[in-house]
Amino acid sequence: MIITNLLTGIAGALTNNLTEILATLAFICATVYIWLQYQYSYWRRQRLPYIEPTLIFGNLKGIINSECDPCTWFQYLYNHEKAKEHPAVGIYIFNKPSLLLRDLELIKTVMIKDFNYFSNRHSASDPHSDSLGSDNLFFAKNPIWKEIRVKLTPVFTSGKMKQMFPLIEGIAQEYDKYLCSQKVDAKTNSTVIEVKEPNALYTTDVIAITAYGLQANSLSDPNGIFRRNGKKIFTFNWLRAMEFKAFFFLPILVKIFRFKVFSTDTTIFLRDTINRTMEERMRTGTTRNDLIDILIKFRREAEEEAKEGKKPFILERDALAAQAAIFFSAGFETSSATMSFTMYEMARNPDVQQRLREEVREAFLSNDGKVTYEMIMGLKYMDNVVKEVLRHYPPLPFLDRVCTPKAGEEGYSLKAFNMDFNVPANMPIYIPQQAIQMDPQHFKDPESFNPDRFLPENKHENNMNAYMPFGIGPHNCIGERFAMLQTKLGLLYFYRNHYVTACDKTPKKLQLDPRAVVIQSLGGIHLNIVRDPLF
Ligand code: HEM
Ligand SMILES: *[C@@H]1O[C@H](CO)[C@@H](O)[C@H](O)[C@H]1NC(C)=O
Ligand SMILES: *[C@@H]1O[C@H](CO)[C@@H](O)[C@H](O)[C@H]1NC(C)=O
């Protein structure tokens, strides 16, 4: 009797509690739902054109759940019914109201003329757990960004490129040797390979020698420590994909989950490597006019400032190693991707490849087989081929900034663009440059692969103001010259003894990996490479 009573009592209490718990949960859900609905009414309340968001992900659903690669997704937003004809359109990055810019005049104004109002990227890394990831030129915020940018700019002058040229050319020669050492079928003189990996071995060795002063020898040891660390950064498994999406779209998650651009292992490796090289250079007093000289100068200036009682940030944090780390990561992946996309397009467009090879052959012959900086600068057709590749496949397919109004100002007015709206502080801005580069309003027959569209006589049907694979304005790619040089040298030596054709595994249209924010082809790029020395 007592026991039964007790049991009934407990059961009663439980049901009561259960009802309470359920009621509380329902209340929380309803509140969150109403709060989200309110957040998602921002653009309607502002009376600005906007694209209808979905719950939770806002206008990023296809990217976040990896249904869609970033190029296709930004094209979808850029070409949306609600966006067409408007200079800018409201979107939601999760629940955060953001602006997608479409009009070229507006983009130029934001990125160049009124840069001071948009002087930071929205993307960010975690300063507490990932110092190399957050103190580097790409992710640093003002005023630190400005200071680093001024100091690093001298690394990339054309004078410095000329000085580094022999180092890069040495690696390009090794790349040619590596290719020539691959076994080919005796009947056809050809073999099928995945080209992205050898291209990455080449660019990894180029960055190691120019930015770290070291022979990484990835081409002779594909499992070398530089390549292993580089590969880890850009291998988009599920977790890595989430981390990158968080850096670019939801930096708040980066802090919560301690996402890292550079893992603890990679941080230790990159930091120790640059530290040892710098110590060695300072001890022996050797100079080579490369990044390391600049970093050492940077450090000495900071030490002077410290003596004057200032507190330069680079002595307290890993700022020097962070710059070398971003050159390493931004430097090898984007250029090897560009080389690989070029080879894919050459397999699809044999007539273009033939012209390219003819140019390479003439350049070698008219220079007695000697490769020089001036010769590379003279490869006009190759320049247009690489430009056309970067129009189709810019490794970073969108640009981002946040609004940074001056103290005391409310925001940035879009009145000049016929929009009655003040962009408030910290609002993210996205520029879908790949979608812009594929817009028939700016480029004639945009899906076709046509290097000649960059010839001056074709300017009237191809708008160069709409071309921005390296970004634009003061925050643009600092490594553009370097990137073009290493890409062209790599291609020159590739074509010295080989060309490519399509194989069974070469798709008619390249599929991009939906997990990769920095674009990659899905499943690599498999091509038939044919051994055929030019002379
Ligand atoms: C084909 C190769 C490359 C492409 C397409 C590319 C593209 C880009 C783009 C689109 C940006 C953002 C620009 C903006 O927001 O306006 C950027 C920034 C940057 N890139 Fe590159 N990049 C390439 C190669 C390189 C190389 C080789 C290096 C270094 C050696 C490098 C270092 C950087 C750095 C440090 C930034 C941040 C600059 C700043 O915010 O001040 N990139 N790149
Ligand atoms: C393969 O290469 C050799 C040596 O360069 C050449 O003699 C031969 O004609 C080539 N065969 C084919 C099928 O191209
Ligand atoms: C290298 O690391 C040591 C130990 O952390 C440090 O004392 C030294 O200042 C570093 N050298 C450079 C050039 O950063």
Question: Is the beta carbon of 519 within 6 A of some atom in ligand 1?
Answer: no
Instruction: For residue 87, give the DSSP letter.
Output: S
Same domain? For 68 and 213 the reply is: yes
Residue with token string 């930091």: 271
- Per-residue pLDDT, 417: 95
When divided into structural domains, the chain yields a total of 2
Instruction: Tell me, yes or no, whether 51 lies in a domain.
Output: no
Question: Is the beta carbon of 118 within 6 A of some atom in ligand 1?
Answer: no
- The residue range of the domain holding 480 is 61-531
Nearest Cα to 269, choosing from 196, 334, 318?
Answer: 318
Question: Is the beta carbon of 279 within 6 A of some atom in ligand 3?
Answer: yes
Q: How many whole angstroms from its chain centre is CA 283?
A: 36
Please give the distance, rounded to the nearest whole angstrom, from the Cα atom of residue 477 to the centre of ligand 1: 3
Q: Is 190 helix (H, G, I), strand (E, B) or coil?
A: strand
Question: Is the beta carbon of 511 within 6 A of some atom in ligand 2?
Answer: no
- For residue 97, give the H/E element and its range: strand 96-101
Same domain? For 99 and 10 the reply is: no
Question: Is the beta carbon of 60 within 6 A of some atom in ligand 1?
Answer: no
- Ligand 2, atom 1: closest residue by C-alpha: 189
Same domain? For 140 and 32 the reply is: no
- Per-residue pLDDT, 143: 92
Please give the distance, rounded to the nearest whole angstrom, from the Cα atom of residue 401 to the centre of ligand 1: 14
Please give the distance, rounded to the nearest whole angstrom, from the Cα atom of residue 106 to the centre of ligand 3: 46
- Per-residue pLDDT, 10: 66
Same domain? For 423 and 514 the reply is: yes
User: What pTM value is reported for the model?
Assistant: 0.93
Alpha carbon distance 507, 521 (integer Å): 10
Closest ligand 3 atom to 279 CA: 13
Mutate to test the pocket of ligand 2, among 185, 189, 532, 534 (most ligand atoms within 8 A of CB): 189
Which CATH number fits the domain that encloses residue 451? 1.10.630.10
Same domain? For 289 and 327 the reply is: yes
Which parts of the chain register pLDDT below 70?
1-4, 6-7, 9-14
* Residues 65-97 pLDDT 10s: 899 999 999 999 999 999 999 999 999 999 999
- Per-residue pLDDT, 6: 65
Instruction: Tell me, yes or no, whether 182 lies in a domain.
Output: yes
Same domain? For 259 and 157 the reply is: yes
Same domain? For 202 and 280 the reply is: yes
Question: Is the beta carbon of 485 within 6 A of some atom in ligand 1?
Answer: no
Same domain? For 184 and 323 the reply is: yes
Same domain? For 384 and 499 the reply is: yes
Please give the distance, rounded to the nearest whole angstrom, from the Cα atom of residue 353 to the centre of ligand 2: 20
Please report which ligand is nearest the Cα atom of 188: 2
Binding-site annotation: residue ranges for heme: 477
